[in-house]
């Protein structure tokens, strides 16, 4: 099992530390779909008992990152084409609305930060960096929306699908296409055109959906 572990002993924050380590490994693709998450093995890696491990797995299951299967126990949750289609359609609706509300409130600092993430995305060399800067670019443009509940939902949804976004970027022409689409979205934001920014964001997400479904259909 490939995850970054630390010797934490038996502490009050053990479950949170394990949760964050497993979450990172799942999102970044170190742990693959269907991979077993054996409590005894994880407990040994973190030098703790099974209790905080069980708590961490419960938190991950609530986020949809882990599933419990009969005879197997906890495994990394996969995603079906139907579920992927639903999630990306949901993202297009929510994220389009969020950026539309954010554009009139965007500060020069927000636009500069988004530009920095766009440039970092362009220069990134691997899926981990692509995924990080892609996510930061979008969430930076959303943060001035003042829609706290929406932003929380967006973050949880991105956690659920982040590893698939990284796979899509690395296994297709996703980086070049995403870079051009990011540039157009940011230009609309810089021009203060909220409706265009929303429409471009929706198209961007639905285009990514089509690419992902093609990847999933090919295994």
pLDDT in tens, the chain (219 residues): 666 665 655 545 889 999 989 988 888 778 888 899 999 999 999 999 999 999 999 999 988 889 988 878 899 988 889 999 999 999 999 999 999 999 999 999 999 999 999 999 888 877 778 888 999 999 999 999 999 999 999 999 998 888 888 777 766 567 888 899 999 999 999 999 999 999 999 999 999 899 888 878 776
Q: Which of 207, 200, 206, 203 shows the shortest CA–CA distance to 185? A: 200
pLDDT given for residue 5 in this prediction: 62
The structure tokens 């981990």 sit at 128
Q: DSSP string of 53-89?
A: HHHHHHHHHHTTSEEEETTTEEEE----HHHHHHHHH
In order of their start, the domains of the chain are: 14-76 (1.10.10.10), 81-217 (1.20.120.530)
Q: Identify the pLDDT of residue 123.
A: 87
Residue closest to 66 by CA, chosen among 28, 131, 19: 19
pLDDT given for residue 32 in this prediction = 85
């Amino acid at each position: 099992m490939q995850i970054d572990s630390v010797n934490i002993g038996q502490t009050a924050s053990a479950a949170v530390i394990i949760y964050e380590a497993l979450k990172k490994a799942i999102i970044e693709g170190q742990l693959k779909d269907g991979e077993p998450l054996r409590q005894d093995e994880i407990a040994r890696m973190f030098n703790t008992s099974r209790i905080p491990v069980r708590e961490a797995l419960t938190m991950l299951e609530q986020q949809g990152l882990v599933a419990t299967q009969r005879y197997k126990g906890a495994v990394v949750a996969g995603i079906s084409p139907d579920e992927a289609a639903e999630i990306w359609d949901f993202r297009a609706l929510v994220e389009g609305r969020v950026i539309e509300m954010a554009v009139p409130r965007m500060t020069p600092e927000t636009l500069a930060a988004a530009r920095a993430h766009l440039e970092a995305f362009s220069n990134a060399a691997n899926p981990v960096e692509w995924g990080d800067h892609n996510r930061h670019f979008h969430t930076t443009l959303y943060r001035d929306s003042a829609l706290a509940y929406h932003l929380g939902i967006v973050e949880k949804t991105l956690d659920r699908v982040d590893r698939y976004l990284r796979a899509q970027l690395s296994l297709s022409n996703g980086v070049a296409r995403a870079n051009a689409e990011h540039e157009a979205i940011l230009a609309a934001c810089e021009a203060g055109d909220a409706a265009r920014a929303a429409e471009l964001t929706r198209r961007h997400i639905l285009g990514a959906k089509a690419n992902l479904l093609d990847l999933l259909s090919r295994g």
